[in-house]
Amino acid sequence: MNSDLPKVVHEVAGRPIVWWVVDAVRKAGANPIVLVVGHGGEHVRAIFEDDDDDIRYVLQDRQLGTGHATLCAQEALAEFEGDVLVLAGDGPLIRPKTIEVMHEAQRAARAAATLATSVIEDPTGYGRVIRGSDGRFQEIVEHKNATPEQRAIHEIYPSYACFDANRLFAMLRQLEPNELAGEYYLTDIPALLRDGGEVVELVDAVPPEDVLSINTPQQLAEVDAILTARRETAQMEKSP
């Protein structure tokens, strides 16, 4: 991003990236919201200054992967019972409706986990969703760990997940680091739950245009254009 600032504080369509994620979560009715921050966390806190009554901040002092980041939220949710969303702070295109669809599927199936998926033209860099012969969830394989056959799969996991809180943190405490990366992958948890006899649901709820990573100024501009168009459309629909 050509900057020393955390990626999530860069602005897109007039707001910091992470603001859009929190806004979608709030509109979907999730509470409390736990933001896991690392280096530069004070910049994230500044975004929500005077607007963080429903936010709890957690420090990840070592960058040991998405599984470790999620486990850092355990203490902040120690008294929480129910389903938790686990989302990436750099995914501003997430819609409240996607969250609602995921949670509805989670509750209907009484699942331990529900993952939203998307089918995109270029899946490079994304975790691939592997289904069994019955079409149900089998595992997620990160791009760097995928075989050529798995990389040919276009159904990806865009980091939108819903978990039963108790089962999630129980599994995270047992999670082993990935042999190749040395990191703790949150994406390993659904397969561990499935192997333990738990229900893991998939919902193809993410439109391809919502799956855009922001790693360069050019990608930031693309997402900016999408969010600006959405906002203008919403304003037009509200107009008499």
Q: Note the pLDDT tens digit of each residue in 46-101.
A: 999 999 999 999 999 888 999 999 999 999 999 899 999 999 999 999 999 999 99
**What is the span of the domain harbouring residue 182?**
7-238
pLDDT digits 0-9 by tens, 129-160: 999 999 999 999 989 889 999 999 999 999 99
Provide the 3-class DSSP secondary structure of residue 111.
coil
Domain membership flag for residue 97: yes
What ranges in the chain are assigned the alpha helix state H? 17-27, 41-47, 66-71, 96-109, 148-151, 165-174, 189-195, 217-238
Nearest 10 degrees: CA dihedral of 214, 220, 152, 187? Answer: 20
Q: What is the DSSP string of 186-203?
A: GGGHHHHHHHTT--EEEE
Backbone angles phi, psi at 142, to 5 degrees: -65, 150
Q: Is the pTM of this model over 0.85?
A: yes
pLDDT for the residue numbered 151: 97
Q: Does residue 240 have a pLDDT over 80?
A: no
Residue-level pLDDT at 2: 63
Instruction: Please confirm whether the linkage preceding 32 is cis (ω < 30° from 0).
Output: yes
Question: What is the total count of domains within the chain?
Answer: 1
Instruction: Quickly tell me which residue has 């760097």 as its tokens.
Output: 144
SS3 130: strand
Task: Judge whether 202 and 129 are in contact, CB under 8 Å.
Answer: yes
Q: How many H-runs (helices) and E-runs (strands) does the chain carry?
A: 8, 12
Q: Which amino acid is at 178?
A: N
Residue 23, domain CATH: 3.90.550.10
Residue type, 63: Q
Give the count of alpha carbons within 13 A of 178, CB side only. 20
Q: What is the pLDDT of residue 8?
A: 93
Task: Assess whether pLDDT exceeds 80 at residue 239.
Answer: no
Give the span between the Cα atoms of 51 and 82, in whole angstroms: 25
In a domain, 36, yes or no: yes
The amino acid sitting at 194 is: R
Give tens-digit pLDDT for 164-204. Answer: 999 999 999 999 998 878 899 999 999 999 999 999 999 99
- Asked whether residue 106 is domain-assigned, the answer is yes
**DSSP 8-state code for residue 64:** -
Residue 1 lies in a domain: no
CA-derived radius of gyration, the chain:
18
